Amino acid sequence: MRALQSTTRSVPRSASRRAAVAVSAAAPGPKRVVITGGNTGIGFEAALELVKKGHSVTLACRDDGKAAAAAARIKAAVPSAAVDTLHLDLADLGSVSDAAKSLLDSPAPIDVLLNNAGVMACPYMTTKQGFEYQFGVNHLGHFLLTTSLLPKIKASEGARIVSVASAAHAFGKIDFDSFRSSKDYKEWPAYGQSKLANIMFTYELARRLASDPSAPTANALHPGVVRTELGRYLVSDDSPFYMKIMWGMMTPFTKSPEQGAQTSIYLVSSPEVEGVSGKYFDNCRPISSTPASYDTDVARRLYDVSQELVAAAVDSAAMA
């Protein structure tokens, strides 16, 4: 497939119409969608649009108060909305494990998992289990949640796993020595690594599930550069001056959260992508990711190492 150029400009009207038509033509029957970080930004906009179409959503969020407030806003806009909340702190694999158990124990199905939450370009810090924060939150937390929920997701016909990645994956490479190290840490390469990991996990998961007729599809997406809380570290008091200047220059070309949510909504609900798996999307269309993202040896190793890391962390948390 010929590589298409991604863009940071506002989503074209044709892409907005494409997503709207696709959602309107979604397959019959309401779906239950679990959305990480659904209390704000593109996750909230996706949740709001999906409940308008009759789907039910679970907002899986770190801040219970913000999650409850988001659910109340959705109910105010759509009184008939089926929306609930779930505590999920992706920076704590014990919390991720607890959230997964709660979802597995619930009688409600999981038709779609939208891995939406994330952090971008933060100063060096670590998760509760000692992993570099961006890699730990953006990749390992979602890796554990996704793999833990697979048995239940498989039970839903036509289920989907959708992961919000970024064109910034082009800035990163998978450095297996960096996952617990502050050596040579730089905010943007670390963010790029975490987003590259999202895409490579998506591709590897799709390959591993390809022979299973009951398996969900797995796809990743670039939402565009969106005006959300994700950019909070770019304009904080501690941010380097050049980052503030860069964000200020980019702002006129960014998307609104509603625009940024369109590809997520499309991949969650459109019949056009029924059975499509192992792809990367931008503006509701499949595009090529970077050559590094197609390295199957690195992807296989990343999957296996991630599995080992989260298993050890969860075991340690259980023994504490």
Asked if 100 contacts 145 with a C-beta cutoff of 8 angstroms, the reply is yes
Residue with tokens 């503030």: 244
Rounded-to-integer distance, Cα 213 and Cα 154, Å: 9
Q: Which residue has better confidence, 16 or 276?
A: 276
203 is catalytic: no
Indicate whether 71 belongs to any domain: yes
Asked if 94 contacts 128 with a C-beta cutoff of 8 angstroms, the reply is yes
Q: Which spans in 78-161 are helix H? A: 93-105, 133-134, 142-154
Indicate whether 2 belongs to any domain: no
Number of structural domains the chain divides into: 1
Which pLDDT band holds residue 36 (cuts at 50, 70, 90)?
A: very high
Which pLDDT band holds residue 249 (cuts at 50, 70, 90)?
A: very low
Indicate whether 198 belongs to any domain: yes
Indicate whether 3 belongs to any domain: no
| Distance linking the first and last C-alpha atoms of the chain | 49
Asked if 195 contacts 168 with a C-beta cutoff of 8 angstroms, the reply is yes
Which residues constitute the domain of residue 210?
A: 13-225+258-319
Q: Which spans in 155-294 are helix H? A: 187-209, 241-250, 257-260, 262-269
Residue 11 is predicted with a pLDDT of 39
Which pLDDT band holds residue 77 (cuts at 50, 70, 90)?
A: very high
CA–chain centroid gap for 174, Å, is 18
Give the pLDDT mean for 36-62.
97
Give the pLDDT mean for 14-36.
66
Percent share of the chain, pLDDT over 90: 77
Indicate whether 1 belongs to any domain: no
Per-residue pLDDT reduced to its tens digit, 200-218: 999 999 999 999 999 999 9
Rounded-to-integer distance, Cα 39 and Cα 287, Å: 28
Point out the catalytic residue in the list 133, 191, 203, 233.
191
Indicate whether 46 belongs to any domain: yes
Residue 278 vs residues 75, 138, 210, 232, 287: alpha-carbon distances, Å: 34, 19, 9, 31, 11
Helix 262-269 and helix 13-24, axial crossing angle in degrees, nearest 10 = 30
Which pLDDT band holds residue 13 (cuts at 50, 70, 90)?
A: very low
The continuous run of DSSP H or E covering 51 comes out as: helix 41-52
Which pLDDT band holds residue 224 (cuts at 50, 70, 90)?
A: confident
Residue 123 is predicted with a pLDDT of 94
Indicate whether 203 belongs to any domain: yes
Residue 75 is predicted with a pLDDT of 98
Indicate whether 70 belongs to any domain: yes
CATH number at residue 271: 3.40.50.720
Among the ranges given (67-71, 202-206, 243-247), the one the predictor scored with the smallest mean pLDDT: 243-247
Give the pTM.
0.87
